[in-house]
Copies of this chain bind each other. A is one copy, B any other.
Amino acid sequence: MSIELDSTSEEVERALASAAAARLPFGALSPSQRQGMLHAAADALTDAAGELIAIAIEETNLTEPRLRGEVARTAFQLRAYADAAVGAVRAEIDLADADATPAPRPDLRLTSRPIGVVLNFAASNFPFAFSVAGTDTASALAAGCPVIVKAHSGHPLLSRATFKVLDRALRAAGAPDGTVGIVFGREAGVTALRDDRVSAAAFTGSTSGGRALFDIANARPRPIPFYGELGSLNPVVVAPSAAAARSDEILAGFTASVTGSSGQLCTKPGVLFWPSQVPFAERLSELLGASAVHPLLTPGLQRGYQASVDAVLTAGAELVHGDPSAATVEASALRTTASAIAAAPSALLEECFGPASLVVTYDDESDLLAALHAMEGNLTAAVFADAGDHDLVRAVLPVLEDNAGRILWGQWPTGVSVTRAQFHGGPYPATTNPLHTSVGTHAIDRFLRPITYQNFPEEFLPAAVR
């Protein structure tokens, strides 16, 4: 696919000017008014699903069932975030108190307001749920912020088609012109990111790309919050009793989690810690050999996948299964030891974006802990353990909690439920700011700026704090 839709500088300027013009009117609507608009957008997306999915299959190689599920999830997000914004309007009131200690205090009323225009760098791997109408767009709109999407180059036609559906539905429901905009091309994205009319940015993608944009956002004369979701290895620790008792079941779950969507998920378990005394290689090889994987999203990702697998092999890992040099992608597993990780972590712990994972065998608790301590931040960390493993769990858990934004027990990290208690974030490089989630209703919080009214007459107060 070599569609060239790169925006001209006039088109970028138009998107910025329109979004800036929409900022105050869209922000001044009530959450209930925006709820109606976002529900209309969700309906329109659902109605257009057939046509959009056909384009998506062409551009991404993803399967139809997967894309259908993703459209449903994307429509759900638009509705759920809009509903949450209605239900969670911030209002904290401290009445005036002349007798307060340490000093008399005035009437103070805390609420929040939209942060301003949000620039959303769409992801390649979820052409709906993390793209034009995806979680970053939905949460920013629910917060009352106009959104400019920087389309991902992996699915430009789908991006354009989805944008038309979204834009038309929002306008028809009464949203101001410029409530959503779109730009294409790296240069257009950087120009918009540097523009003072943009007040926050969100990104989902690679560590190198995300870090470059994060640096640009921070170097602006007026720096802005940049919510980047970058790389994550999502370690899974299988404790000895669990491995001995249920190795087939665990390895099957692992294989499914690594190969689903051809491994192109930010929560794919990239490192499996496995007790060295329990055999795994033969069974894992069988399971991987029986797994169907489809071509990666783009030729660029295919090249990057092969290069990263090669890099891990060059660093000393051995191949358990798969042929990284094959022309079509194959599900792969590599292996190394916990002591090798502890000795030279960065070379072995390169993220392979695709259906490959690294099995790290460990001899005992201290061996395991040394390797875990060598890991950088992650979105998730999982534990599989049985009753006999609880001493090990007590030693390992503090390290995992310290390292990840979501901790799982006996489940695989792929599949991220969109709920209030979800947290999809974590220490760098999982994200650029570990305080925020990009999935779940708290994603909205990223785009709301608190404001306190002191001693205000009721008629000039926002409705939330009257």
Contacts and interface: CB of A to CB of B under 8 A. Distances in A.
Contact of A103 (B69, B406, B450, B454): B69
A363 interface: no
A454 B407 contact: yes
Nearest to A77: B102
A263 interface: no
Given A102-B73, A103-B69, A222-B428, A409 B454 contact: yes
A22 B109 CA distance: 37
Given A222-B428, A397-B460, A411 B215 contact: no
A24 interface: yes
A430 to B, nearest CB: 11
Contacts of A402: 24
Interface string A410-424: 110001011111110
B433 A108 contact: no
**Which of the listed residues A105, A376, A397 has the most CB atoms from chain B within 10 Å of its own CB?**
A105
A113 interface: yes
A67 B375 CA distance: 47
A326 interface: no
Contact of A451 (B423, B433, B446, B457): B423
B24 A456 contact: no
A256 to B, nearest CB: 15
Interface string A239-280: 000000000000000000000000000000000000000000
Contact of A453 (B218, B407, B427): B407
A434 B224 CA distance: 9
The bracket for how many chain A residues form the interface is: 35 or more
A113 B401 contact: yes
Nearest to A228: B223
A415 B397 CA distance: 45
Contact of A421 (B103, B110, B415): B110
A219 to B, nearest CB: 8
Nearest to A437: B450
A137 interface: no
A438 interface: no
Contacts of A7: none
Interface stretch (A92-100, A163-171, A178-186): A92-100
21 contacts: A69-B102, A73-B102, A73-B103, A76-B102, A94-B422, A100-B417, A108-B421, A109-B421, A110-B422, A113-B401, A115-B435, A222-B427, A225-B433, A393-B460, A404-B451, A406-B453, A407-B453, A408-B455, A409-B456, A423-B452, A437-B450
Interface of A: 24, 28, 69, 72-73, 75-76, 92-94, 100-103, 105-106, 108-110, 113, 115, 214-215, 218-219, 222-225, 376-377, 393, 397-398, 401-402, 404-411, 415, 417-423, 425, 427-429, 432-435, 437, 442, 445-446, 448-457, 460
Across the A-B interface, give the 9 residue pairs with the lowest CB-CB distance, nearest first.
Answer: A423-B452, A105-B417, A110-B421, A108-B421, A94-B421, A408-B454, A72-B102, A94-B419, A218-B218
Given A94-B417, A222-B428, 9 more contacts: A76-B101, A102-B418, A223-B428, A225-B433, A407-B453, A407-B456, A409-B457, A421-B452, A423-B451
